Structure 1
């Protein structure tokens, strides 16, 4: 092509986006060379490449095998009876946020490979799951459904449980089934009545169709998301903790061996139970950080996860935990 400069539209035509992507990824030209070839500015080339990613034309990912065959991955498999563990390097021992984003990105890259046609994927909520869905490249899976595992709740994080499941369904080009009910009601009677409402009953029935699940491990402290979201109070946490609770799994409490710790909140909650989660074909646990070692160990001991994504610092802490 000539070096005559074009006047691109803000998003660029599909043809020029494809051409820029081809030159960059298949012919190895740098952005300046592409700009000269196409007769546009270097900034336009950057925009074309970004648009190619957003349209799903460009998918950039590392091979999974090095992260699954890492010695820490194999040790985690043996220790906790996992089918696979994906371990990424931590950004730094002191930057938990950057490491969380890296772990979430890795899980989003790996997730489509763990799904098959016709699967029903139950999705929990929380910052890790939200970041996973946000950072995931579009990767359609045929005839997949995404189901919200817990009801809705007030959130201090700027996103909702519904957004986590809806965004993930969008990335997978799947059907989304949300729970149009609060995660917790004020009385057991009100919760029982709401479960019988036809719409909620049908949505809860969809939980029974789940064969796979995506979730994080919540800490059993006053800083837990269940406290910040208004599901449990500090007194509730103290009570559950005194009775052995060490982790929060989809709003429910489990002890160090992963056994469900029943309590007053259970009858008021709308969502999946720990017992149901143990019956799934696949459970993908995505968590990291020093505050998550104890809850992750509890969830892993309980057999809720068949697959794990974490970082190498957290992995070593899990393996060293008594």
Structure 2
């Protein structure tokens, strides 16, 4: 009940902000929040009655929404969704929760949602409620995701064979294989082709952005020592998505291991309908800036402190 009330207040604050502060019409607000127009009208009426709206939108969400708009304008993003400032220890979990809430607010009937690789993205499935339409289908953007899903099962997600609420189509390979020849062979497999082609057609994709800090998951791509990390930095790498590294200008680097990845490549992400980056923390700022420049992500889910840093 407390969670439901909190989400109701969040809807009220956001709907009020869009209506009174930005001048957005009720129909557009309904589309933005993933609800019908009648509910928007009720929310706005309740917001006036309960004091959410006086001469300004009250509550912590008002300052976050102002920051969201500034960040959208600064980087030309389609959408920004922020969480309040959190401790470094909690940031991954909070971003996973925010990603789930973003899906609950925006997913439409019969949506195809693609999910990337990593702990933060896999955490979205653990936090996903039944608010997302039951006609929603999920698909993976790269290999290696089953590793996370098998360790962190959720009652709301399943493979096409399980019959659970949301069907989940998984690329049945590792993220990185031992040779480019093996990668080519696997890419010829009908099931791999089917799921990868499906992923490209997603209505929305959620991806993590990796940095070059020793604490991140770059070791999965063969860079396991500080020396190797420094060599990678000398090549100009500042961040990665699904193991593909890029430089500060948002340009993909030419690295040997890129030829061994089974993934939806960066150049494909640029062309997809809507790619949402989910990342936060001081160590991700440079990588996020580069991802914006490369056009790899169209929207962002992050924390308040990271957002403020990205404005400068």
TM range (shorter): 0.7 to 0.9
Q: Is the 8 A contact 1:67 1:88 kept in 2?
A: no
Q: Which residue of 2 aligns with 1:281?
A: 273
Q: Which residue of 1 aligns with 2:66?
A: 71
Q: How far 1:133 moved relative to its partner?
A: 2.2
User: Which SS does the other structure have where 2:249 is aligned?
Assistant: coil
Q: Deviation string for 1:267-321 (max 9, x for gaps)?
A: 111111001111122111111111111112211222222221212111111112x
Q: Deviation string for 1:40-92 (max 9, x for gaps)?
A: xxxxxxxxx9xxx8xxxx6851425136962211111011111221222213x
Q: 1:135 aligns with which of 127, 139, 151?
A: 127
Q: Is the 8 A contact 1:68 1:85 kept in 2?
A: no
Q: Which residue of 1 aligns with 2:56?
A: none
Aligned pairs for 1:1-322 (under 5 A) are 61=7, 62-64=9-11, 65=14, 66=61, 70-91=65-86, 95-152=87-144, 160-163=147-150, 167=154, 170=157, 173-227=165-219, 229-234=220-225, 237-320=229-312
**Structure 1 residues 193, 129: closer, same or farther in 2, change over 3 A?**
same
Q: Is the 8 A contact 2:201 2:272 kept in 1?
A: no
User: Which SS does the other structure have where 2:255 is aligned?
Assistant: coil
CA distance in structure 1 between the aligned counterparts of 2:264 and 2:206, rounded to whole angstroms: 12
Q: Deviation string for 1:217-276 (max 9, x for gaps)?
A: 10124433131x355444664444222221111221112222222221121111110011
**Structure 1 residues 200, 100: closer, same or farther in 2, change over 3 A?**
closer
Normalised to the residue count of structure 2, the TM-score between the two structures is 0.72
Flag structure 2 segments of 5+ consecutive residues without an equivalent: 15-60, 159-163
Q: How far 1:110 moved relative to its partner?
A: 1.7
Q: Is the 8 A contact 1:287 1:309 kept in 2?
A: yes
CA distance in structure 2 between the aligned counterparts of 1:165 and 1:212, rounded to whole angstroms: 22
**Structure 1 residues 162, 98: closer, same or farther in 2, change over 3 A?**
closer
User: Which SS does the other structure have where 2:168 is aligned?
Assistant: strand
Flag structure 1 segments of 5+ consecutive residues without an equivalent: 1-24, 26-48, 154-158
**Structure 1 residues 100, 208: closer, same or farther in 2, change over 3 A?**
closer
**Structure 1 residues 96, 168: closer, same or farther in 2, change over 3 A?**
farther
Q: How far 1:117 moved relative to its partner?
A: 2.4
User: Which SS does the other structure have where 1:191 is aligned?
Assistant: helix
CA distance in structure 1 between the aligned counterparts of 2:255 and 2:261, rounded to whole angstroms: 11
Q: Is the 8 A contact 2:223 2:229 kept in 1?
A: yes
Q: May I ask how many residue pairs the two structures share in their alignment?
A: 257
Larger Rg: 1
Q: Is the 8 A contact 1:68 1:86 kept in 2?
A: no
